[in-house]
Amino acid sequence: MAEVVIVENPAAAGALVAAEIGRLIARRADAVLGLATGSTPLPVYSALRSQLEGVDVSHVRGFALDEYVGIDPSHPESYRSVITREVVEPLGLTPSLVHVPDGSLDGIEQAGAEYDAKIRAAGGVDLQLLGIGTDGHIGFNEPGSSFASRTRVKTLTEQTREDNARFFDSPDDVPMHCITQGLGTILEARHLVLLAYGEGKAQAIADAVEGPLSAILPGSAIQLHPHATVVVDEAAASKLTLADYYRYTFANKPAWQGI
């Protein structure tokens, strides 16, 4: 099962995961990071600024999980813009080595297969950051997504559009379609790190970690992965049946193991 680490707050989650990414880059200067957008990974990116100070990150590669379809890439809320603003620029990554699925309408039919091919050509993702939606999605794999799915176009649920309306001037401006790495694509990453904070994510986390494996809860796909780490604050952990066991396990884990 996934390793669950319960931390005090989002900043502690960010520090823990940033340290792991630091170890990865120290081992492998051209590490391939799987990048996520939304609010959840921001504490990781913020902790990485100090974690990677003085480290040569010019060879680090990155692949974002998803993008809106039909959005102008220069729109401030396109995931291309978000990744540039939150990750590439502050960390000083090489822009040409950081990829985001191409959501432009021209060529959208092939964009998914091309993106999967690019990930494969890079040798796969070393560490994939994941958030989880209140409806249990990871990436933009909405409920009902196949566990074998590849990068493709999906229709966002009304719930997800409402959740993301805060980033746009009006809820109607949230695009209806997205291009997202599939669950099958995500499961090929060598290490999955799923983060969540707050009570609003508690049910999705309990279902993903301890619930039945089910397409209705795409996050439950992490149970199929041999190395998945779930980092949550107390509120997001509040519906986990085995919370005390996870605390006990992590408190007694040898430091050399990392996460």
Residues forming contacts to ligand PGA in the complex (CB under 6 A) are: 38-40, 131-133
Whether the Cβ atoms of residue 60 and residue 134 lie closer than 8 Å to each other: no
Q: Which residue number places its CB atom closest to ligand PGA?
A: 38
Q: How far is the CB of 195 from ligand PGA (least distance, A)?
A: 8
Q: How far is the CB of 133 from ligand PGA (least distance, A)?
A: 4
Place of tokens 């193991």: 257
Nearer to ligand PGA, 40 or 51 (CB): 40
Q: Determine which one of 77, 86, 102, 135 is catalytic.
A: 135
Please indicate whether residue 135 is annotated as part of the active site.
yes
Q: Which of 185, 177, 179 is nearest to 155 (CA)?
A: 177
- The DSSP letter of residue 86 is I
Nearer to ligand PGA, 39 or 94 (CB): 39
Query: What is the pairing mode between strands 152-155 and 177-180?
Result: antiparallel
Q: Which residues of 208-246 are buried (b: 16+ CB within 10 A; e: fewer)?
A: bbbbeeebebbbbbbeebeebbbbbbebbbbbbeebeeb
Q: Determine which one of 99, 137, 191, 225 is catalytic.
A: 137
Distance, in Å, from the CA atom of 252 to the CA atom of 259, rounded to the nearest integer, reads 13
Q: How far is the CB of 27 from ligand PGA (least distance, A)?
A: 28
Query: What is the pairing mode between strands 228-233 and 3-7?
Result: parallel
Please indicate whether residue 142 is annotated as part of the active site.
yes
Nearer to ligand PGA, 116 or 163 (CB): 163
Q: Determine which one of 20, 66, 77, 102 is catalytic.
A: 66
Nearer to ligand PGA, 40 or 151 (CB): 40
Find the farthest-apart pair of alpha carbons in the chain and give their distance in angstroms, rounded. Answer: 53
Give Cα separations from 97 to 41, 115, 118, 120, 213 (angstroms): 20, 13, 11, 14, 34
**How many beta carbons lie within 10 A of that of residue 33, not counting itself?**
26
Q: Determine which one of 20, 77, 86, 142 is catalytic.
A: 142
Q: How far is the CB of 132 from ligand PGA (least distance, A)?
A: 6
Please indicate whether residue 72 is annotated as part of the active site.
no
Q: How far is the CB of 239 from ligand PGA (least distance, A)?
A: 17
Nearer to ligand PGA, 101 or 131 (CB): 131
Q: Between helices 10-27 and 42-51, what is the axis angle to 10°?
A: 50
Residues annotated as part of the active site: 66, 135, 137, 142
